[in-house]
Amino acid sequence: MSGEVRIEREGPIARMVFDHEKRRNAITVDMWEAIPNAVREAQEDPDIRVVIMRGAGTEAFVSGADISEFERTRTGNAGPAYDQVTARAFTALRSLEKPLIALVHGFCIGGGAAIALTADLRYAADDARFAVPPARLGLGYHTEGIRALIRTVGFSETADLLFTARRVSSEEARRIGLVNEVFAKDVVDEAVDEIAHTMANNAPLSIRSAKITLQELAKLESERDDDRIRASIERCYQSEDFKEGVRAFLEKRKPGFRGR
């Protein structure tokens, strides 16, 4: 079995589960190839408002790429094809227009850290360990991955993580901004679910507009699509949810947002 990536639904929350538990959820080529379809499934389901990424079990988020495949998939001429597969996966994750949360138990190494960095928010159990170790494998790290690290932790911390390839504890990850918050292992799932439901109760179109703006602002200015931002804001003004939000405020009640 080469692992799987699946979507599990619970009301407005979807969990994208990386399941290769016998290898600490090390990610295989088959799993990389499954990511765009999982993202598409979550994006196209109007009932899903928030996506939580996590590993199967509680030993690891993703412990890295499955090194047992490297001689076949990443050596010599095979390397560029592998990079294209992973690039499609990262592009899909970054393009999701719904809130994307990474819930990290245990190991979050290499490709796992890169996946977590595509999330809008990262929450960790207190046993989480992070590393970006291409220097231990003789690999070059791609520009977008380094850019994502820089946006998250800054230049100096990125250099430290890449040059030393050392493992970082959950508390240090929080200190440098790699994760938003750390929770005790026995409560982290419940805590993240509560955060996700708080988001799901807010106006979906407003959150979509905010995420689109964040996505565009993260790009180089020459690549930014200001029309996409403006269109998302205009859609909010024209929505039934905006009317509902105003009515609910005036009537001093909780709004019932429907995403339209």
Note down the domain range covering 159: 4-199
pLDDT of residue 231: 97
Residues in the chain with pLDDT values less than 70: 1, 70-79
CA angle (117 as vertex; 204, 21 as ends), nearest 5: 100
**214 plus 169 within the same structural domain:** no
In angstroms, rounded to a whole number, what is the distance separating the alpha carbons of residues 257 and 115? Answer: 30
**25 plus 139 within the same structural domain:** yes
pLDDT of residue 257: 94
Using CB atoms within 10 A of its CB, is residue 193 exposed (0-12), middle (13-18) or buried (19+)? middle
pLDDT of residue 65: 84
pLDDT of residue 73: 64
**162 plus 222 within the same structural domain:** no
pLDDT of residue 140: 83
- The pairing of strands 4-10 and 13-19 is antiparallel
Question: Residue 216: phi, psi to the nearest 5?
Answer: -70, -40
Q: How far is CA 121 from CA 24, 28, 50, 106, 111, in A?
A: 22, 24, 11, 17, 17
- The pairing of strands 181-183 and 13-19 is unpaired
Residue 207 lies in a domain: yes
Backbone CA torsion sign across 82, 84, 90, 92: negative
